[in-house]
């Protein structure tokens, strides 16, 4: 694992430009959404809190698990598909405030999105400096589907846990990294990517320590320090998978499906892993008409851009745990057989993909970077308003 500054401290004051920039981008997105929705006779509040997955999370918060919908074809959509951390937080916020469960979910998401921007800045700052961290956080907020982080969805909460989990891994705060990985695993199935980052980092640390042990045999104090870190590493490694594993096992016991119970629930939703075959077929079907062909070309370009950014990160020798995390998020997003319109938002947690762009912007003059980020923010705001007033993120 690449050495980083272990004394690094991403204080709120140090992160202030990134947080202010991110907040400005998201405020613009919400403003444009409000205006666009009003012009279409729709409620921006309803679009953010009471449609698509947000309704499922709210129902879990209000009634618990056990609710399902049977479709005309006989398939059953169960709320067991939705991991519990966001509903738990919605229930807590609603219990200590006058907010409804839906509004509590919106508050949780908004606060989590700020925490995510802070964590993303911290990772970028640690790896490539403060300017890169600022650009990374603002770029993440200005993604075309960035409006999802302002909805009562779990993407903002998961990304916050993942970003700070990666930061803890890079700083070798093993217990904190394991705890954050466990919480990420209670938020989304992709929490496995954070667990993998912790485990890979732990293996790399052990290998490096074994190689250097001979040179430090005579240093008793250093050996004691290594012993304490070893115990923290073991605790972190053991903690990391508890969230996801605990929920999956609970679902299996509740449904009677054992270890595969959760997979059975997802299969009913049409979700699974097929190596990208269904997605490739979906893209190929776009070319049956001239207008659809444009969509198909756009999808191919988008996938190529994602792959190019990942390869760029590999060539730049980004830390292995960061590459492992990002790679798993990308593979599971692109190679899943679920609803294809959800793939852009499933890629939101893969923020390290933006590191090459962030460092490039950081190397430009501030005025030029500001113009680029401002333009992207405006495009994101317009697209987000158009998207939510249309098909939206299922």
Quick: pLDDT tens for 256-283. 888 788 999 998 888 888 788 888 888 8
Over residues 132-156, the mean pLDDT reads 96
The reported pTM is 0.93
State how far the Cα of 184 lies from the Cα of 35, in Å rounded to an integer: 34
Q: Return the CA Rg of the chain.
A: 22
Domain edges within the chain? 12-269+365-388
| 327, 310 contact by CB (below 8 A) | yes
Band (118; pLDDT cuts 50, 70, 90): very high
Phi, psi of 216 (to 5 degrees): -115, 15
| 84, 28 contact by CB (below 8 A) | no
Is 394 a residue whose pLDDT tops 80? Answer: no
Tokens of 76: 């059953």
Would you state the pLDDT for residue 345? 92
Over residues 384-394, the mean pLDDT reads 88
CA distances in angstroms from 114 to 117, 147, 321, listed in the order given: 5, 13, 23
Is 143 a residue whose pLDDT tops 90? Answer: yes
Would you state the pLDDT for residue 222? 45
Would you state the pLDDT for residue 2? 55
State how far the Cα of 216 lies from the Cα of 207, in Å rounded to an integer: 15
Would you state the pLDDT for residue 91? 97
| 131, 17 contact by CB (below 8 A) | no
Would you state the pLDDT for residue 127? 96
């Amino acid at each position: 694992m690449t050495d980083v500054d272990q004394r690094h401290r991403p204080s709120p004051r140090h992160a202030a430009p990134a947080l202010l920039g991110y907040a400005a981008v998201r405020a613009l997105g919400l403003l444009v959404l409000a205006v666009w929705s009003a012009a279409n006779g729709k409620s921006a509040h309803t679009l953010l809190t009471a449609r698509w997955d947000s309704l499922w999370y709210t129902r879990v918060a209000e009634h618990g698990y056990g609710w399902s919908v049977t479709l005309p074809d006989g398939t059953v959509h169960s709320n067991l598909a939705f991991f519990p951390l966001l509903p738990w937080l919605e229930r807590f916020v609603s219990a200590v405030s006058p907010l409804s469960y839906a509004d509590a979910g919106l508050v949780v998401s908004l606060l989590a999105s700020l925490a995510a921007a802070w964590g993303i800045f911290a990772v970028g700052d640690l790896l490539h400096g403060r300017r890169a961290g600022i650009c990374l956080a603002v770029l993440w907020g200005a993604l075309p589907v960035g409006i999802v982080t302002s909805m009562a969805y779990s993407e903002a909460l998961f990304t916050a846990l993942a970003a700070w989990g990666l930061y803890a891994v890079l700083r070798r705060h093993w217990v904190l990294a394991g705890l954050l990985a466990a919480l990420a695993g209670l938020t989304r199935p992709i929490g496995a990517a954070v667990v993998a980052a912790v485990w890979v980092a732990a293996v790399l640390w052990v290998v490096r320590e074994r190689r250097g042990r001979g040179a430090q045999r005579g240093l008793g104090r250093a050996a004691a320090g290594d012993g304490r870190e070893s115990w923290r590493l073991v605790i972190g490694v053991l903690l990391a998978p508890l969230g996801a594993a605990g929920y999956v096992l609970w679902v299996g016991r509740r449904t009677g499906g054992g270890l595969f119970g959760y997979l059975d629930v997802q299969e009913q939703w049409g979700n699974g892993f097929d190596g990208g075959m269904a997605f490739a077929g979906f893209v190929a079907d776009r070319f049956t008409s001239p207008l659809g062909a444009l969509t198909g070309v756009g999808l191919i370009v988008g996938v190529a851009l994602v792959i190019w950014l990942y390869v760029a990160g590999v060539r730049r020798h980004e830390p292995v745990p960061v590459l492992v995390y990002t790679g798993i998020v990308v593979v599971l997003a692109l190679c899943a057989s679920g609803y294809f319109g959800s793939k852009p938002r499933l890629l939101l947690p893969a923020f390290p993909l933006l590191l090459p762009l962030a460092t490039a912007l950081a190397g430009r003059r501030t005025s030029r970077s500001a113009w680029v980020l401002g333009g992207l923010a405006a495009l994101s705001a317009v697209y987000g308003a158009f998207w939510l007033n249309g098909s939206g993120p299922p």
